[in-house]
Amino acid sequence: MGLTEYRKKRRFDVTAEPAGAKKPARARTKKLSYVIQKHRATALHYDFRLEWKGVLLSWAVPKGPSLDPAVKRLAMAVEDHPLEYATFEGVIPEGEYGGGTVMVWDRGTWTPEVADVDAALQKGEVKFALHGGKLKGSWVLVRTRGAGKWAGDRKWLLIKHRDAAASTDDLTVSRPLSVVSRRTMAGIARAAGASARQLALAQAADPPRAPATASTGRDPARVPAPASTGEASRSTIESRPARRIASTRAKKRSA
């Protein structure tokens, strides 16, 4: 754990990302923070970060979190980030590490649901509760021993536990805006003066029905939330991954 890898990958005179304090923050008695950053880099992903021992433990979740306990989301462990990173929203310049638009998609606090977090991380099974603007309830991160391309200890799965916060609602579609600025990805890109290419990528990362925000100077807090997907179309979209997982399981059992 530490910020060596994080710093090695970045040029802080070029990117607006924080370098992080020289001395990591002391373990604090206040609540542990949690943040998810939607990041349109080489590919779109959601960076899932949990504060632990003065840094943000980080996983890149390509499809973003799912509230459906039947859906397991790939979460690739990446380098620890500084605590200051939790408030970073903007554009990492072209050509820099992780170049592209970053949105604070969700944030809040988290509570371990294991007695010993370090032991749980070591073992590869961390249970916790999220108290975020969007994500709530009980979750688990489980390290897998995958084969092939994703072999090794960097591959984890992010899974929602069954509780009152479980749902088939896809929040990446129904609640696509920044929790801190209410902006879309395109709005963030435009405000930061992104390149035309980065702006196009940011735009494509917003759901088709997301409201246009940004360079109008309009109070971002007054941008209306996107119209929610109709129940019929939502259940059609949402039932697909669940069915796919069910059929995969069935095949494994019969094999």
What residues make contact with Mn ion under the rule CB under 5 A? 39, 47
Token pair for 39: 């990041």
Shortest Cβ 46–Mn ion spacing (Å): 8
Shortest Cβ 13–Mn ion spacing (Å): 20
- For residues 101 and 205, the answer to whether their CB atoms sit within 8 Å is yes
Shortest Cβ 134–Mn ion spacing (Å): 18
Q: Which is nearer to Mn ion, 162 or 197 (CB)?
A: 197
Token pair for 62: 């390509």
Token pair for 144: 């897998």
Q: Which is nearer to Mn ion, 120 or 155 (CB)?
A: 155
According to DSSP, the β-strands at 136-143 and 55-61 are: unpaired
| Long-range pairs of 164-167 with CB within 8 A, sequence gap ≥ 24 | 164/137, 165/67, 165/135, 165/136, 165/137, 165/138, 166/67, 166/68, 166/69, 166/137, 167/67, 167/68
Q: Which is nearer to Mn ion, 43 or 227 (CB)?
A: 43
Q: If we measure between CA atoms, which residue out of 43, 59, 66 comes closest to residue 171?
A: 66
Q: Which is nearer to Mn ion, 39 or 134 (CB)?
A: 39
Shortest Cβ 55–Mn ion spacing (Å): 15
Shortest Cβ 112–Mn ion spacing (Å): 24
Shortest Cβ 6–Mn ion spacing (Å): 11
Q: Which is nearer to Mn ion, 47 or 68 (CB)?
A: 47
- Nearest residue to Mn ion by CB is 39
Q: Which amino acid is at 86?
A: A
Q: Which is nearer to Mn ion, 69 or 99 (CB)?
A: 99
- For residues 101 and 201, the answer to whether their CB atoms sit within 8 Å is yes
Residue 29 CB coordination number (10 Å): 5
Shortest Cβ 92–Mn ion spacing (Å): 9
Angle at 2 between CA 19 and CA 4, to 5 degrees: 55
According to DSSP, the β-strands at 100-112 and 44-52 are: unpaired
Q: Which is nearer to Mn ion, 36 or 173 (CB)?
A: 36
Q: Where are the alpha helices (DSSP H) in the chain?
A: 4-8, 117-123, 171-174, 185-191, 196-205, 231-254
